[in-house]
Amino acid sequence: MKKVVKFGGSSLASARQFKKAGEIIRADKARRYVVPSAPGKRNDKDDKVTDLLYQCYDAAAEGKSYKKILEKIQGRYEEIIQGLDVNLSLDHEFANIEENFLKKAGRDYAASRGEYLNGIIMAAYLGYEFIDAAQVIFFDEDGNFEPESTNQELKERLEHVERAVIPGFYGSKHDGSIKTFSRGGSDVTGSIVAKAIHADMYENWTDVSGFLVADPRIIKNPEVIETITYKELRELAYMGASVLHEDAIFPVRKEGIPINIRNTNRPEDKGTLIVESTVRKPKYTITGIAGKKGFCSINIEKAMMNAEVGFGRKVLEVFENYGISFEHMPSGIDTMTVLVHQSEFEEFEQSVIAGIHRAVEPDFLEMESDLALVAVVGRGMKASRGTAGRIFSALAHARINVKMIDQGSSELNIIIGVKNGDFEAAIKAIYDIFIATEL
């Protein structure tokens, strides 16, 4: 059995956290391939090493004083090495880093050094082979990830390597320059490695015990989701629920490799299992609730709209011309509503309104601002009668006015629009009716 284990920044922020990760890895012989992030914050007032690296690089590249920041970064790693009692010196690595900073090697290079150095320490601590991600993960000259060449190289490189550490977050272009994924991209590296070795499981270790049914900033101690499908995860992630980089889903999904979100500080917790599909009956009717604030709606009315071929296309083309993407588009026979991010729309609102008038000549057009969208997601909704009724009953009981309803044909999710001011109350009301009452 083969497992890829990725540890987030908070899981490797100090020697104490490193030791926890080491115990987890050694507790299961199947945990053979390790993907580390850069050291995160040790406390609320601390800095992430990646942020310090950016600061240090910018100062060096601009000819400003950078030595103190570099010494601070070096001190973080020395503290970890000493705490682990590992016979290792990073002096040569830091000399190289300083030289490359002064040569203006790029901000991607700077950011990647956090994972690179943590990878060297992790490999020395575990006695695993260290493989520089720049040698096995590739991007084209435009900075686009190359999955085929990466998969082939990783397969060949790891075929005869029993245990290895591959730093997360970065790779290289054909010219050898370093390129990073977007922030949180170590999740993606773990997924890529899992695909290449045909792993039985991809364990993603972080500081939470899996995906939560709702945002803990809104719901106190929300329940953990035991099992979630990729489709459900995509819906929740799209609406703001974030534990895993969303691009990390695709490489393992194609291979049918499950992802297990685990808590480094509570390794006994089972966490959340992310799967392609499952016959497991969900614990609750709904899987999760997520949402975002900051939307506005453009409501268009025109008699016989449904008989006018191309009406919807013409309207959306106006938004497209101004680079505005729409989020949802509920409609009726003579009405059509387009929901967009308010921050994107405000700058062009009058031009868009004028464009809609020219394109489709509506009878009436109005806008509403400061809206929030709440997504109720769950594969269990399909088999349960009255789910929508329970949602709207709960919202009515909480005196929340529903501005918009949109349900996909898959019956996997229901999107509800409310005023920004009712956002938190709406999530609490839905959580209470489906989770608190079923506990």
If pLDDT is split at 50, 70 and 90, which confidence band does 67 have? very high
Q: How far, in Å, CA of 169 to CA of 180, rounded? A: 6
Q: What is the pLDDT of residue 437?
A: 75
Contact 171, 150 (CB under 8 A): yes
Q: How many CB atoms lie within 10 A of CB 159?
A: 9
Q: Which amino acid is at 408?
A: G
Q: What DSSP character marks residue 212?
A: B
Task: Look over the chain and give the mean of its residue pLDDT values, rounded to a whole number.
Answer: 92
**H-run or E-run covering 151:** helix 147-158
Q: Is 60 exceeded by the pLDDT of residue 242?
A: yes
Which tokens sit at 109?
Answer: 């290079």
Please give the distance of CA 11 from its chain centroid, rounded to a whole number: 17
Q: How far, in Å, CA of 387 to CA of 375, rounded? A: 13
Q: Is 80 exceeded by the pLDDT of residue 425?
A: yes
Q: How far, in Å, CA of 17 to CA of 122, rounded? A: 12
Contacts of 324 by beta carbon, 8 Å cutoff, 6+ apart = 340, 341, 344, 345, 348, 352
Ordered structural domains, the chain, with CATH = 3-207 (3.40.1160.10), 288-436 (3.30.2130.10)
Q: Find the mean pLDDT for residues 358-382.
A: 92
Q: What is the pLDDT of residue 284?
A: 84
Q: Find the mean pLDDT for residues 401-427.
A: 87
Q: What DSSP character marks residue 91?
A: H
Contact 196, 405 (CB under 8 A): no
pTM, two decimal places: 0.85
Q: Is 60 exceeded by the pLDDT of residue 439?
A: no
If pLDDT is split at 50, 70 and 90, which confidence band does 274 have? very high
Q: Is 70 exceeded by the pLDDT of residue 268?
A: yes
Q: Find the mean pLDDT for residues 47-68.
A: 95
pLDDT: is 386 or 124 the higher one? 124
Q: Find the mean pLDDT for residues 102-114.
A: 96
If pLDDT is split at 50, 70 and 90, which confidence band does 232 have? confident
Q: How far, in Å, CA of 339 to CA of 328, rounded? A: 5
Q: What is the pLDDT of residue 276?
A: 87
Q: Find the mean pLDDT for residues 414-427.
A: 94
Of the ranges 39-43, 178-182, 408-412, which one carries the lowest mean pLDDT score?
408-412
Give the SS3 label for residue 329.
Answer: coil
Q: How far, in Å, CA of 18 to CA of 9, rounded? A: 10
